[in-house]
Amino acid sequence: MTHGIMVSGEEQLIPQVTLETPCSCRYAKRLHKVVRRLVPNCDVRFLLSVSGSGKGAALVTAVAYRLAAQRKQIDAALAPFLLSLETLREVKNKMRTELEYGLRRETQASATVKMLPTYVCGTPDGTEKGKFLALDLGGTNFRVLLVKIRSGRRRSDYYEIYVLIFSFQLFDHIVQCIADFLEYMGIKGARLPLGFTFSFPCRQASIDKGTLVGWTKGFKATDCEGEDVVDMLREAIRRRNEFDLDIVAVVNDTVGTMMTCGYEDPNCEIGLIAGTGSNVCYMEDMKNIEIVEGNEGKMCINTEWGAFGDNGCIDNIRTKYDKEVDEGSLNPGKQRYEKMTSGMYLGEIVRQILIDLTKQGLLFRGQISESLRKRGIFETKFLSQIESDRLALLQVRRILQQLGLDSTCEDSIIVKEVCGAVSKRAAQLCGAGLAAIVEKKRENRGVELPWYHTTSLLKELAPQCDVTFMLSEDGSGKGAALITAVAKRLHNIDKYLYAMRLSDETLIDVMARFRREMKNGLSRDFNPTAAVKMLPTFVRSIPDGSEKGDFIALDLGGSYFRILRVKVSHEKKQTVQMESEIYNTPEDIMHGSGTRLFDHVAECLGDFMEKQQIKDKKLPVGFTFSFPCRQSKLDEGILITWTKRFKASGVEGADVVRLLNRAIKKRGDYDADIMAVVNDTVGTMMTCGFDDQRCEVGLIIGTGTNACYMEEMRHIDLVEGDEGRMCINTEWGAFGDDGSLEDIRTEFDREIDRGSLNPGKQLFEKMVSGLYMGELVRLILVKMAKEGLLFEGRITPELLTKGKFETKHVSAIEKSKEGLNKAKEILTRLGVEPSHEDCIAVQHVCTIVSFRSANLVASTLGAILNQLRDNKGVGRLRTTVGVDGSLYKMHPQYARRLHKTTRRLVPDSEVRFLLSESGSGKGAAMVTAVAYRLGDAGNRRRGSCVSV
């Protein structure tokens, strides 16, 4: 005989147990009595099995069949939540595409991932200190914090209160909370700097301005969207008229989180919020942010990735449950990615699945309770509790019973499985989005990210990145205070650099000023007093491809003197062969007499001709003389003034060709026919013109700076004739010598000028050229160190020594991958023991100084391009600029900055920048070759121009 036992009790539920017992009524009674005596808290019923175990086997089979069918239906319901690695890679790639769209000016307006600039351009470096107030608004609770930051220590003390927030009269309520907090802390009379964590999408124009794009997370306060939330807060404070605050920054909670963790770990450059809402921010290179002016440094970008997929790009992975949740939300069709990943919606997704399974008879005996029908009844906190590994099924049943759901153990298993599928998908989608950002960071740096612990999903989706996850213990409110502190610190640094940050409006104004100077320099009436001399060069054509012959070129313009032999031949096509020798020009010769200088040049030329075995030949010679000269013919150059540290006496006001001829004749061991004297800028234009006949501008950006261009003869009052064109050597280094740049010159520019060999002259050159750039940086660093903003206020004798910080150091420090290491190395050689933050600040100073140089050169070049376009009477100018100079060639960022700013300032010009690989010496040979081709020697002696 078989008995089934059914037991119930207050403390436990035990499933039915089947026992085989002897066929004895006395035995059964004794068994019943002992069981009830041993477990008095249980109500036990003994049921006699009359069909035996055979029927049980059939029932077991039936149950297994039912469970298999049930399992199949459950798997089908949860299958859309199981994302393959291939699918996640696809999501990552789509997110990456949307990130790029959001950064580009032409696609940002239509991008779903808005990539909002935050104007947070630095992370904490440990030097921040002081008391700061922080507000944190982003959910049902509003926090006010007083944060005390102690300088030099990566810790802070803070106090906070929580206040329930209502959407009615929102900002008046916030100010009431602030007033209560200030009263409680006893600081109502203090005007503290304030950071405002506002956890909703805002479009920012500066760090203290944030226009609300749209409410999220259930907020619907009226009259806020499209308004500046900082202005609204200030206005509410003004209405209350009880206290005042200095609102320094408004930030997203994601940015606040990144800053909070960045205070503990300087490597932290990504902030992730995975809570009621979902969002990410990260530090992006400025050069990649087209929607903000500027190319240097970094800025934190608030991605607002919750809207990813609003354009339908992830509809293939959205389930019917996601669509039901979206349709029932306050903002249907929006924030689709957030609705699949954030805590505000996960519980509701689970509820929709449970209803669907119950309707299919797979849960709760097919009975949909009234509680399960209520939207929002299944909160995300229940999902977290049910998923806990430490929670037994019986406890899961209790949670479900608290929700009014009468569940079995099987129901508990299924519910736990549903919760796991929903939350796992959320984590995977979030991980795929994060992988897109991590990969972008790696590509920006060009190296692996220096972070440590990796999740398995990120390891597969971004295998070349090593990522540490750091939990923000103090929340985003503390981050707002830290951003405020950083903004204050950067403000103290930037006050020295503010005057060097030139807006496009200022650059366009400088461009207009230089255009006026060009006009004055070309006029016979105004030229004598014009700062920009606009010197005629008597070069009226670039090479046309028919030149040939054997030529010598001399190139004098710095501490090194170069001599070239240039052979131009026509066999199958025009070819140029060059051999050259470089000779040193000692300092004592540069500063000695003119006779010594040209004797040295003649000696070097004799040595070169000896080595080339051409002393018995009288080859045509072109002389690149890279100093301002007034010419009345091609082979005459009257030096106006020395530049670039040259001070040889007896040369200013003299013809340099005559001085060189005299030195050669005095030697008597060789002869030379000096057919042309040209500026290095003209030589650069002619060198590039040999390769590209559209080249009509020459530009030098090196130790010094200058430009030349092909001007219409009808505009040149200084030379007779109206037909054709002539190359004009602008000598723009003297731009500003008449005071026209005083409003943009800084105290550091004036100090450079006072300490130079030619005070009051070449002022534009002293603001932009390589000879002065390193010294400009040094003066700024000394000033900042004296103010205690760098090197803990320590100033070494080396740092105080003029010329110790060279322009080549600026170039090294601005290299994208190794710049900070180079900064530390260079500063250490100067006797400074810099911190990591000092190196960042020094790199920032170098960037500002070199960027100003590129911007100013772009503005003056823009004036020349506008002149060319107007001369030609075309709507869009197509031209080539030949460029040479060590600053342009060697500085890692300079060329790109110059090109970008030029195209921005002169948008109706299509400009090609062509680097002069052979230098300006070859250009002197090309000028000579043109003259030689034209057989114009007799005319040259009579002062006419070389023309085609």
Q: What is the mean pLDDT of residues 232-260?
A: 82
Asked about 562 being catalytic, the answer comes back as yes
The pLDDT, as a whole number, for residue 158 is 44
- The pLDDT of residue 766 is above 50: yes
Asked about 680 being catalytic, the answer comes back as yes
Selection from 28-37, 131-140, 452-461, 532-541 with the highest mean pLDDT: 532-541
Evaluated on CA atoms 728, 733, 739, 740, the torsion sign reads positive
Tell me which of 21-35, 341-355, 611-625, 658-672 is least confident: 21-35
Q: Give the pLDDT confidence of 203-242 residue by residue, as tens digits.
A: 877 778 888 888 877 677 888 888 988 899 988 888 888 8
Tell me which of 221-230, 471-480, 636-645, 927-936 is least confident: 471-480
- 170-199: b (≥16 Cβ within 10 Å) or e: bbebbbebbbebbeeeeeeeeebbbbbbbb
Q: What is the mean pLDDT of residues 473-490?
A: 56
The pLDDT, as a whole number, for residue 733 is 94
The token pair at 472 is: 């923000």
Would you place residue 153 in the very low, low, confident or very high pLDDT band (cuts 50, 70, 90)? Answer: very low
Selection from 428-442, 478-492, 703-717, 912-926 with the highest mean pLDDT: 703-717
User: In a 3-state reduction of DSSP, which class is residue 626?
Assistant: coil
d(CA 213, CA 200): 8
For the chain, give the longest Cα–Cα distance: 147
Selection from 66-80, 564-578, 780-794 with the highest mean pLDDT: 780-794
Between vectors from CA 793 to CA 756 and to CA 268, what angle results, nearest 5°? 110
Q: Give the pLDDT confidence of 803-839 residue by residue, as tens digits.
A: 999 999 999 998 876 788 898 999 999 998 888 778 8
The pLDDT, as a whole number, for residue 139 is 67
DSSP conformation class of 136: E
- The pLDDT of residue 752 is above 90: yes
The pLDDT, as a whole number, for residue 407 is 83
Would you place residue 860 in the very low, low, confident or very high pLDDT band (cuts 50, 70, 90)? Answer: very high
Between vectors from CA 449 to CA 447 and to CA 453, what angle results, nearest 5°? 145
- The pLDDT of residue 482 is above 80: no
The pLDDT, as a whole number, for residue 310 is 94
Q: What is the layout of strands, in order, in the sheet containing 877-884?
A: 535-536, 725-729, 705-712, 695-701, 877-884, 909-915
Neighbours of 453 (CB within 10 A): 10
The pLDDT, as a whole number, for residue 687 is 85
Tell me which of 6-20, 489-503, 514-528 is least confident: 6-20
DSSP conformation class of 702: S
DSSP conformation class of 573: S
d(CA 769, CA 210): 39
Q: Which of 336, 562, 596, 725 is catalytic?
A: 562
d(CA 900, CA 903): 5
Q: Give the pLDDT confidence of 22-56 residue by residue, as tens digits.
A: 456 777 778 878 877 887 777 777 777 666 666 66
The pLDDT, as a whole number, for residue 491 is 59
Q: What is the mean pLDDT of residues 736-764?
A: 93
Q: What is the mean pLDDT of residues 647-676?
A: 89
Portion of the chain with pLDDT greater than 90, in percent: 32
User: In a 3-state reduction of DSSP, which class is residue 646?
Assistant: coil
- The pLDDT of residue 453 is above 70: no
- The pLDDT of residue 84 is above 70: yes
Q: Does residue 443 or residue 544 have the better pLDDT?
A: 443
Q: What is the mean pLDDT of residues 54-72?
A: 65
- Please name the residue that has the structure tokens 């409680």: 184
Backbone angles phi, psi at 298, to 5 degrees: -130, 160
Q: Are 834 and 796 in contact (CB under 8 A)?
A: no
Q: What is the mean pLDDT of residues 734-747?
A: 94
Selection from 173-187, 371-385, 694-708, 907-921 with the highest mean pLDDT: 694-708
Number of alpha helices (DSSP H) and beta strands (DSSP E) in the chain: 29, 27
The token pair at 426 is: 């959320």
Tell me which of 554-558, 688-692, 732-736 is least confident: 554-558
- Reported as half-sphere exposure (CB side, CA atoms, 13 A), residue 519 has a value of 10
- The pLDDT of residue 160 is above 60: no
Would you place residue 945 in the very low, low, confident or very high pLDDT band (cuts 50, 70, 90)? Answer: very low
Q: What is the mean pLDDT of residues 490-505?
A: 77
Would you place residue 941 in the very low, low, confident or very high pLDDT band (cuts 50, 70, 90)? Answer: very low
- The pLDDT of residue 684 is above 50: yes
- The pLDDT of residue 265 is above 80: no
Q: Are 809 and 774 in contact (CB under 8 A)?
A: yes
Q: Give the pLDDT confidence of 546-595 residue by residue, as tens digits.
A: 777 788 888 887 777 888 888 887 666 667 788 888 888 888 888 989 89
The pLDDT, as a whole number, for residue 906 is 94
Q: What is the layout of strands, in order, in the sheet containing 246-251?
A: 156-164, 141-149, 130-137, 193-198, 246-251
The pLDDT, as a whole number, for residue 124 is 62
d(CA 101, CA 111): 6
The pLDDT, as a whole number, for residue 17 is 46
Q: Give the pLDDT confidence of 880-924 residue by residue, as tens digits.
A: 999 998 999 999 889 999 999 999 999 999 999 999 877 666 777
Tally of residues, the chain: 948
Tell me which of 3-7, 219-223, 289-293, 676-680 is least confident: 3-7
The pLDDT, as a whole number, for residue 532 is 93
The pLDDT, as a whole number, for residue 705 is 94
The token pair at 812 is: 């090294």
Q: Which of 626, 756, 853, 947 is catalytic?
A: 626
Mean residue pLDDT of the chain comes to 81
- The pLDDT of residue 772 is above 80: yes
Q: Does residue 53 or residue 436 have the better pLDDT?
A: 436
Q: Which of 228, 680, 737, 753 is catalytic?
A: 680
